[in-house]
Amino acid sequence: MKLQNYISGSFIEPDSGEWMEDYSPATGEIIGHVPKSQKSDVNKAVQAAKDALPSWSSLTHVERSEWLDKIADNLESKYEEIAQLESKDTGKPISLAREVDAYRSVKNFRFFAEIIRNLESEHFEMEDANNRIIYKPVGIGALITPWNLPLYLLSWKVAPAIGMGNTVVCKPSELTPMTADLLMKAIHEIGLPKGVINLVHGDGIGAGSPLVSHQDVNLVSFTGGTSTGAIVAQSAAPSFKKLSLELGGKNSSIIFNDCDLDKTVPGVVRSGFLNQGQVCLCGSRILVQESIYDEFVERFVNEVENMKIGDPSNEDTKLGALISPEHLLKIEEYIHIAKDEGGTILTGGYPCLPKEFEKGNWIAPTVIADLKVNSRCSTEEIFGPIVTIHKFSSEEDAIKIANNTRYGLAGSIWTTDLEKGNRVAEQIHTGMIWINTWLHRDLRVPFGGVKDSGVGREGGKWSLGFFSETMNICTKYD
Ligand code: NAD
């Protein structure tokens, strides 16, 4: 597949006439070519968004919601294609690509269609006046996404952005461009007005950087690594662009001795290793109360070793490949660091796979014990199939350990004492905590992190707030 940019309703080649290779994480083979776009391509896409803005922003919320529903309908008809492309491009198991990626991509459009359709202006009455709050589009949005949940995260931004009347330029990860291309085909087929959604493929320096610093871009919604987020924030600051940053995480799963181990063990395994541990919310540091530590560790390691790793297209595969050789190298380096730091590898290593996968990026899920809670492996974001396990003694101890990283995105608490669970949750410095579950998503709730995990919240009405300018109109009565 030789992909193209999508600008002003047309699929066009990059000005450079250059393409980058897109590799299958599972086999290492080339599966596509991605435009190597540059500033001139970005300028064209921003101009297209600018031209489309007046007529798109003048539609009503209800009219725009109808377009979101049409996109959802078309994507739904491509459900299996989304899953197949996403599995091939990211190396994730096909069952996960169906259940999570395809499902949520359609759902995001439906969900925002529904809440935007029902959006009503708020009123605050005074004795002698009325305040009416309205939501106006911000303007042109730059939407930048990572490789771990490609269409899931892109649709999470596109739907509320255009639903609130903005026009957008998308820049998906150069490592996973396939389903962004499919989304452009879907909107093309339904005849979405040209220029409302534009897409420029390319890398961060060539395409991402000129997009976030473009003078006509009014908002930036970025999901990606913390260090990239810092650069994006710097680029956006001089022109006071509205900014949302969803960044990295190092999340704790806190397991109290009164938990239901039959539910906790599989829950914590899922939280540690879903998508090969490549979810920003993954619970990669596991804190276990000392009286159940030995039993938990034995059952946990056993469950991890029973997960089937291999061919992503097999229906019963639970773990696929890592995104790139560079990412695999990073994971291997962290395993070396863990050994240097005194860690004990309880399980891990390289899986034994058929010959067709020998050039892929494979590593077995790895569990490391005996590290200090302030060690590098226990506090830095690894973003792969590695978890570290630690003991804690008391509630206070667990809270102290959970808070000792620079990140503050999410976490989970496992206990049958819900009062204690809630008490502990309130003291963890993160944007989200689950009790006796993990990644149990209600799209109405706020999503985002504190500390180095980001700035701002998206999700439900928080997305509507971010992708709009709130205005108050105060009318004095006679
Ligand atoms: P990344 O920061 O390397 O890249 C993210 C996107 O930014 C890509 O599209 C990339 O091309 C682009 N980019 C790179 N440099 C840029 C620049 N200077 N200006 C503009 N754009 C630029 O991240 P990644 O490796 O693709 O994704 C993994 C990271 O994403 C992890 O840290 C993970 O925790 C984080 N993430 C966070 C969330 C969340 O909601 N908080 C969700 C998913 C992933």
Measured from the Cβ of residue 190, the count of other Cβ atoms closer than 10 Å reads: 12
pLDDT on residue 478: 87
Q: Outline which parts of the chain fall under CATH 3.40.309.10.
A: 252-442
The C-alpha angle with vertex 115 and arms to 180 and 73, in degrees rounded to 5, equals 45
Tell me the average pLDDT across 417-426: 98
**Model confidence over 302-344: pLDDT tens digits?**
999 999 999 999 999 999 999 999 999 999 999 999 999 999 9
Closest CA to 368 of 348, 344, 403: 344
| Average confidence score pLDDT of the chain | 98
Q: Outline which parts of the chain fall under CATH 3.40.605.10.
A: 5-247+453-476
pLDDT on residue 179: 98
Residue 23: its H or E element: strand 19-23
Q: How confident is the model at residue 457 (pLDDT cuts 50, 70, 90)?
A: very high
173 lines ligand 1 (CB under 6 A): yes
pLDDT on residue 406: 98
Cβ atoms 459, 410 nearer than 8 A: no
Cross-strand partners of 132: 123, 473
**Model confidence over 383-397: pLDDT tens digits?**
999 999 999 999 999
| Dist. CA 425 → ligand 1 center (Å) | 27
212 lines ligand 1 (CB under 6 A): yes
**Model confidence over 119-135: pLDDT tens digits?**
998 999 999 999 999 99
Give 188-230 as a DSSP string. HHHTPPTTSEEE----IIIIIHHHHT-TT--EEEEES-HHHHH
Q: Looking at domain 252-442, which of 3.40.50.410, 3.40.50.1110, 3.40.309.10, 3.20.20.70 is its CATH number?
A: 3.40.309.10
pTM of the full predicted structure? 0.98
Q: How confident is the model at residue 186 (pLDDT cuts 50, 70, 90)?
A: very high
Q: Residue 382: pLDDT above 90?
A: yes
Q: Residue 291: pLDDT above 90?
A: yes
Nearest residue by C-alpha to atom 12 in ligand 1: 204
- List Cβ neighbours of 281 (8 Å cut-off, separation of 6 or more): 249, 251, 271, 409, 410, 432, 438, 439
* Residue numbers annotated as active site: 246, 280
- What is the Cα–Cα distance from 19 to 34, expressed in whole angstroms? 5
Cβ atoms 421, 254 nearer than 8 A: no
35 lines ligand 1 (CB under 6 A): no
| Dist. CA 157 → ligand 1 center (Å) | 14
Query: What is the CATH T-level fold of the domain 5-247+453-476, as seen in this structure?
Result: Aldehyde Dehydrogenase; Chain A, domain 1 (3.40.605)
Q: Where are the alpha helices (DSSP H) in 13-165?
A: 39-57, 61-77, 79-90, 94-96, 103-117, 150-163
The total number of residues shown for the chain amounts to 478
Copy the structure tokens of residue 225: 């690594």
Closest CA to 47 of 201, 205, 178, 211: 211
Q: How confident is the model at residue 76 (pLDDT cuts 50, 70, 90)?
A: very high
Cβ atoms 453, 407 nearer than 8 A: yes
Copy the structure tokens of residue 11: 């699929």
| Dist. CA 298 → ligand 1 center (Å) | 35
pLDDT on residue 228: 98
The 8-class DSSP code of residue 147 comes to S
The residue type of 123 is H
Q: How many C-alpha atoms does 370 have within 13 Å on its Cβ side?
A: 9
446 lines ligand 1 (CB under 6 A): no
Strands (E), 188-270: 197-199, 219-223, 242-246, 251-255
Per DSSP bridges, beta strands 122-125 and 30-35 are unpaired
* CA dist 401 → 125, 227, 387, 430 (Å): 48, 23, 15, 13
Tell me the average pLDDT across 170-179: 98
Q: How large a percentage of the chain has pLDDT more than 70?
A: 100
Q: Residue 223: pLDDT above 90?
A: yes
Nearest residue by C-alpha to atom 23 in ligand 1: 224
Q: Where are the alpha helices (DSSP H) in 240-380?
A: 261-273, 293-305, 325-340, 376-379
Q: Residue 264: pLDDT above 90?
A: yes
181 lines ligand 1 (CB under 6 A): no
Cβ atoms 343, 388 nearer than 8 A: yes
Q: How confident is the model at residue 143 (pLDDT cuts 50, 70, 90)?
A: very high
- What is the Cα–Cα distance from 54 to 180, expressed in whole angstroms? 25
Q: How confident is the model at residue 1 (pLDDT cuts 50, 70, 90)?
A: confident
Cβ atoms 431, 450 nearer than 8 A: yes
